[in-house]
């Protein structure tokens, strides 16, 4: 689900890992796609490769729309075909500044990570903990690091109108050896802008585990359409998470230290990131 803009345009990531910077130049409509499911998924997956820096606001709300958690976060991301590294760091409020999560995934093995809470509490996260909530939100660590567009099995299963936009429904299923708690993921893709307007993640039993809605679409620093704001609902009926990005920059250079447990102790933006 990884989504923002290097100007003052307000956008988001994702998740997310999740939907960060995905777009595709294609001329299609919901009735007659001119691209196969496999090619569509491969293009969406490839858009997530590379490095990026993101700032976003994360709000966890009660049904009454009262803020339960409000955080300003920066995301450092480095993704290749062989490995994914992701760091979420809290910038605000002051009492939580410096809290950070490092996630790592490589060679098809289950993701792992580290959680840092200032001033000196550092603990490891193993694969069994990837379903834990990211900073108390309705997103899990797995949602942040996982790229389901790279899964082996991709098929277009239909079309549906979402917010007056005709969408292709792309179903992603993991292949043998792909580590995930989900049995399938369905994405409602706007075929003209090639942006997911809805993502639903299902358990192997078939039950709906998480729904992610794109509530605004914008363009990123490379002129590509991306999800700008997201609303996430999980298994908790008393909780909903809104993600609203503020800035994004691609092709950022990071030293390797940024993606180590020791690097989590330094909640600083890279020098080449947007101010």
Q: Is residue 133 part of a domain?
A: yes
Tokens of 77: 């991301």
Q: Is residue 214 part of a domain?
A: yes
pLDDT at 49: 86
For tokens 């691209």, the residue is 35
pLDDT at 203: 97
pLDDT at 24: 36
pLDDT at 28: 37
Chain centre to alpha carbon of residue 159: 23
pTM: 0.83
pLDDT at 130: 96
Q: Is residue 210 part of a domain?
A: yes
**CATH code assigned at 139:** 2.50.20.10
Q: Is residue 24 part of a domain?
A: no
The span from the CA of 168 to the CA of 174, in Å, is 19
pLDDT at 204: 96
Report, in this order, helix, strand and coil percent for the chain, each rounded to 5.
Answer: 15, 45, 45
Tokens of 107: 């060679």
Q: Is residue 15 part of a domain?
A: no
Chain centre to alpha carbon of residue 252: 18
pLDDT at 62: 81
Q: Is residue 202 part of a domain?
A: yes
Instruction: Report the candidate in 128, 134, 104 with the shortest Cα–Cα distance to residue 260.
Output: 104
223 contact partners, CB below 8 Å, separation of at least 6: none
Q: Look at the chain and report how many structural domains it folds into.
A: 1
Q: Is residue 18 part of a domain?
A: no
Tokens of 59: 């709000």
Sign for the CA dihedral angle at 261, 262, 265, 270 comes to negative
pLDDT at 12: 37
Q: Is residue 42 part of a domain?
A: yes
pLDDT at 32: 44
pLDDT at 52: 95
Chain centre to alpha carbon of residue 275: 22
Tokens of 220: 């990123």
Could you say which residues of the chain have pLDDT below 50? Answer: 2-33, 274-275
Q: Residue 260 belongs to what domain range?
A: 37-265
Q: How many residues are listed for the chain in this entry?
A: 275
Instruction: Report the candidate in 241, 249, 243 with the shortest Cα–Cα distance to residue 222.
Output: 249
272 contact partners, CB below 8 Å, separation of at least 6: 53, 249, 252, 253
């Amino acid at each position: 689900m990884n989504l923002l803009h290097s100007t003052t345009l307000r956008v988001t990531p994702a998740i997310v890992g999740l939907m960060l910077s995905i777009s595709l130049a294609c001329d299609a409509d919901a009735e007659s796609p001119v691209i196969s499911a496999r090619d569509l998924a491969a293009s969406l997956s490839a858009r997530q490769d590379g490095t990026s820096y993101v700032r976003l606001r994360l709000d966890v709300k009660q049904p009454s729309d009262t803020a339960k958690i409000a955080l300003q976060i920066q995301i450092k991301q480095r993704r290749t075909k062989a490995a994914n590294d992701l760091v979420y760091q809290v910038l605000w409020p002051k009492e939580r500044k410096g809290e950070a999560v490092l996630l790592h995934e490589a060679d098809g093995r289950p993701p792992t990570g580290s959680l840092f809470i200032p001033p000196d509490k550092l603990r490891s996260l193993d694969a069994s903990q990837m379903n834990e909530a990211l900073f108390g939100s309705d997103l899990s660590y797995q949602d942040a690091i996982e790229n389901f567009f790279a899964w082996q099995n991709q098929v277009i299963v239909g079309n549906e109108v979402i917010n007056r936009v005709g969408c292709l429904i792309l179903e992603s299923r993991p292949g043998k050896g792909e580590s995930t708690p989900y049995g399938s993921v369905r994405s409602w893709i706007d075929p003209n802008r090639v942006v997911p307007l809805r993502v639903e993640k299902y358990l192997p039993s078939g039950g709906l585990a998480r729904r992610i809605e794109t509530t605004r679409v914008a363009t990123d620093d490379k002129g590509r359409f991306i999800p700008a704001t997201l609303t996430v609902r999980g298994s908790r009926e008393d909780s909903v998470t809104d993600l609203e990005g503020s800035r994004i920059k691609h092709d950022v250079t990071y030293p390797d230290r940024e993606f180590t447990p020791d690097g989590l102790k330094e909640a600083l933006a890279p020098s080449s990131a947007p101010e």
